[in-house]
Structure 1
């Protein structure tokens, strides 16, 4: 029975393996670039929003607080 089945020997596909390795590396690289770009965009938005909130808080601290008039007895 062993003579009925041919021997299957995988042929070395070094070019194909190298091509897939290069492709996988470039996919990982572009994913890293995209992730870092998104993080930078988020950090820029966060710092801009925080600065605006600090300016608004200082502006509100300088305004007249009407609610204090109603709380006084």
Structure 2
């Protein structure tokens, strides 16, 4: 028969198992938090880069000619708007 001390080394005490599991959970949560923060940082960098690109594109578009405006039915006369929705002033001579 084995001495009682030898059996204690084979099967860990319940408190040791609980402590090991608790430490494992803490380490796991820590690494999950690190992963989450890295993903958030990567997303923020992408978002700011995309926003900067969109702002540059908007500034470029604002400097371009408004070709579509040439094809609309709106007309200007003496600085006053004469368009299809302003029926009383639509015709210049009448």
Larger relative contact order (CA 8 Å, sep ≥ 6): 2
Per the TM alignment, residue 61 of structure 1 is displaced from its structure 2 partner at its CA by 0.3
> Gapped runs of 5+ residues in structure 1?
1-11
Per the TM alignment, residue 14 of structure 1 is displaced from its structure 2 partner at its CA by 1.1
Greater fraction of residues in strand: 2
Determine the C-alpha separation between the residues in 2 that align with 1:65 and 1:18: 70
Per the TM alignment, residue 13 of structure 1 is displaced from its structure 2 partner at its CA by 1.0
Per the TM alignment, residue 65 of structure 1 is displaced from its structure 2 partner at its CA by 1.1
Larger Rg: 2
**2:35 corresponding residue in structure 1:** 34
**1:55 corresponding residue in structure 2:** 56
**2:21 corresponding residue in structure 1:** 20
**1:9 corresponding residue in structure 2:** none
Alpha-carbon RMSD across the aligned residues, in angstroms, is 1.1
> Gapped runs of 5+ residues in structure 2?
1-12, 76-94
TM-score for both structures, normalised by structure 1: 0.80
TM-score for both structures, normalised by structure 2: 0.63
